[in-house]
């Protein structure tokens, strides 16, 4: 019995020491970084920019793997099934860890089945109207909506998208009545807004900027906690009287559940170094992303709060896409 116990102890000790060695030598091979959208576009650009610099800091190649489809479900499911050894990571964002868990039944738990590693940054959405409307601010927007019952409609990038959920949050807090017109993506929704087919929209700032500068749509307010440097004269919705209003497109890094804490810390420390690089902010300015470094613990709390907030709204507004 004693001999068997000694052999078992030795075996366990050897296994633990092997694991420790593996962790201490991390990363010893290329890291797969799953981006849950098709190649091209803002989200993909952000993922590739992060990978390029994170790989340099870690001293290892990071291979971007675009897995689009299912609103991020395919990428998320692939990530949850991977070994939690730090060699499969994913760009989590507001769809995969915010609006989708709130509005759909998913084949995984967006909190329990992932390891939060760190936030990259966020960008606000913008309340925009067609420039031909006699609306200059949120107050005049609400006055116009009240005087034109049933004639106001807003476009979105699709049912359950952040553009949809943000508008519904706005309706809930203001009592404004607007008809939802879902589109298959942000581009056609913006096209109809500029053509006057819809009257309002909450696009992401990066998508809205070219059209704002072109004068075909007008910004009334941004959704972030403070004014954005690219729209310094545009107030926040909080400044406009909607207390506590917050809805942002954010990007971060997650991995499968149960990743070793030492590897999580190593990745978070490396990400912090990337976010501190002076020219990295300029790199992401094309997508209007404000860098937001967080510890793994702070990022975990952020994810839980974002999912809880959108889930409460979805229940309140009856936005259940699988119902």
265-286 mean pLDDT: 94
Q: pLDDT-derived band of residue 188, with 50, 70 and 90 as boundaries?
A: very high
| Averaged pLDDT of the chain | 92
Mean per-residue pLDDT for 176-200? 96
What pLDDT is stored for residue 23 in this prediction?
53
Checking phi first, is residue 236 left (phi over 0); if not, alpha (psi -120 to 50) or beta? beta
Tokens 């107050």 correspond to 139
pLDDT above 90 as % of the chain: 86
Question: pLDDT digit string (tens) for 25-69?
Answer: 999 999 999 999 999 989 999 999 999 999 999 999 999 999 998
Nearest to 46 by CA among 265, 204, 266, 263: 204
Give the integer Cα–Cα distance in Å for 76 and 257. Answer: 12
Look at residue 285 in the predicted model and tell me its pLDDT.
86
Per-residue confidence band for 71, with pLDDT thresholds at 50, 70 and 90: confident
pLDDT at residue 16, as a whole number: 47
For residue 137, is the peptide bond before it cis, meaning its omega torsion is within 30 degrees of 0?
no
pTM value is 0.90
Structure tokens at 307: 């999912």
pLDDT at 19 over 60: no
Q: Which domains are seen in the chain, by residue range?
A: 30-122+249-317 (3.40.190.150), 126-231 (3.40.190.10)
pLDDT, tens digit, for every residue of 82-105?
999 999 999 999 999 999 999 999
Please check the confidence at residue 17 and state whether its pLDDT lies above 90. no
pLDDT of residue 147: 93
171-175's contacts with Cβ under 8 Å and 24+ in sequence apart are 171/317, 172/313, 172/316, 172/317, 173/242, 173/245, 174/142, 174/242
Q: Is 50 exposed, middle or buried (0-12, 13-18, 19+ CB in 10 A)?
A: buried
Contact 101, 72 (CB under 8 A): no
Q: Which residues contact 97 (CB under 8 A, 6 or more apart)?
A: 110, 114, 252, 254, 303, 306, 307
Is pLDDT above 50 for 281? Answer: yes
pLDDT at 150: 84
* Backbone torsions φ then ψ of 290, nearest 5 degrees: -95, 120
Residue 229 pLDDT: 93
Q: Tell me the CA distances in angstroms from 199 to 96, 160, 165, 216, 305, one per residue in order.
A: 28, 20, 17, 12, 31
- pLDDT for the residue numbered 220: 98
Q: Tell me what the mean pLDDT of segment 139-152 comes to.
A: 93
Distance of CA 267 to the CA centre of its chain: 19
């Amino acid at each position: 019995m004693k001999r068997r116990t000694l052999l078992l102890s030795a075996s366990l000790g050897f296994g633990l020491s092997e694991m420790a060695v593996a962790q201490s030598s991390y990363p010893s091979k290329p890291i797969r970084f799953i981006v849950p959208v098709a190649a091209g576009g803002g989200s993909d650009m952000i993922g590739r920019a992060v990978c390029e610099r994170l790989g340099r800091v870690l001293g290892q190649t990071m291979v971007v793997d675009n897995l689009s489809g299912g609103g991020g479900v395919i990428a998320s499911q692939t990530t949850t099934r991977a070994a939690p050894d730090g060699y499969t990571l994913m760009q989590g964002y507001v769809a995969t860890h915010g609006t989708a868990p709130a509005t759909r039944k998913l084949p995984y738990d967006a909190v329990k089945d992932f390891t939060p590693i760190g936030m990259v940054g966020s960008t606000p959405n913008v309340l925009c109207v067609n420039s031909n409307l006699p609306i200059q601010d949120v107050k005049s927007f609400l006055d116009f909506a009240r005087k034109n019952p049933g004639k106001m409609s807003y476009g979105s990038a699709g049912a359950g998208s952040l553009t949809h959920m943000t508008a519904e949050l706005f309706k809930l807090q203001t009592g404004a009545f607007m008809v939802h017109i879902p589109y298959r993506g942000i581009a056609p929704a913006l096209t109809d807004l500029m053509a006057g087919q819809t009257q309002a929209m909450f696009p992401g700032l990066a998508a809205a900027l070219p059209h704002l500068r072109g004068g075909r749509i007008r910004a009334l307010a941004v959704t972030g906690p403070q004014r954005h440097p690219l729209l310094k004269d545009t107030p926040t919705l909080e400044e406009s009287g909607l207390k506590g209003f917050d809805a942002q497109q954010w990007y971060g890094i997650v991995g499968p559940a149960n990743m070793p804490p030492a590897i999580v810390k190593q990745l978070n420390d490396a990400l912090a170094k990337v976010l501190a690089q002076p020219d990295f902010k300029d790199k992401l300015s094309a997508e209007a992303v404000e860098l937001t470094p967080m510890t793994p613990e702070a990022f975990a709390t952020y994810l839980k709060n974002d999912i809880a907030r959108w889930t409460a709204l979805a229940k309140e507004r009856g936005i259940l896409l699988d119902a």
